[in-house]
Amino acid sequence: MSDAIDSLLSGDNTSTLVTRLRDAGLRPTRQRLALAALLLDGQHRHVSADSLTRDVLATGEQMALGTVYNTLNQFTEAGLLRRVTVHNEHSVFDTNTDHHHHFYDAENDQLFDIPAGLVQLAGLPDAPDGHSIDAVNVLIHISPETD
C-alpha cells in the first residue's frame, strides 16, 4: 500500500477498521481497509465512485473504479454508508448514516446535509396495499443565485 494509506492504517486505526468491517459482515481485504481508512474516519462527507477513486489515486494507491464502486455498494449494504440517488444514473455515498435530508447543487454536483428535524412534512399518502412506509428522504435541488 502507499505511504499515505499506510499512515491512515497505522496501529490502533487498523484494528478498529478491521473490527468495524468484520462487525458489518465484511472481510477486511486490503482494498476495503484502504477505502475504509478514507471513508470511516468520523468525518461526514459525500463521495461518488469517481471522486473516491481520485482520492485513492492521490494517495499513490492503485485501485480500479470498478473495485471502488463495488466496495461502496458493499459498505452501503452493510450499513456503513448511505446511498443518495440524485438522479437516474448518479448516486453519491454519504458517510453520515443517521437519518437526514439533503440539498443538491447540480451545477457543482454537491450535496449539503439538512438535519431531519428541519424538514417538516404536512402529511404522507397511505402506502399501497401490502406495504408500509419505512423512511422518507427529501432531496431539494438548488442552484447558485444569480445577480
CA angle at 45 for the pair 41 and 48, rounded to the nearest 5° = 110
Q: Where are the domains of the chain?
A: 3-87, 98-142
Whether 54 contacts 106, CB under 8 Å: no
Class of domain 3-87: mainly alpha
Whether 4 contacts 37, CB under 8 Å: no
> pLDDT per position in the chain (147 positions), as tens?
555 555 555 656 788 999 999 999 999 998 999 999 999 988 999 999 999 999 998 888 889 999 999 999 999 999 999 999 988 888 999 999 999 999 999 898 899 999 888 998 888 999 999 999 988 889 999 998 887
CA distance 80 to 67: 17
pTM: 0.84
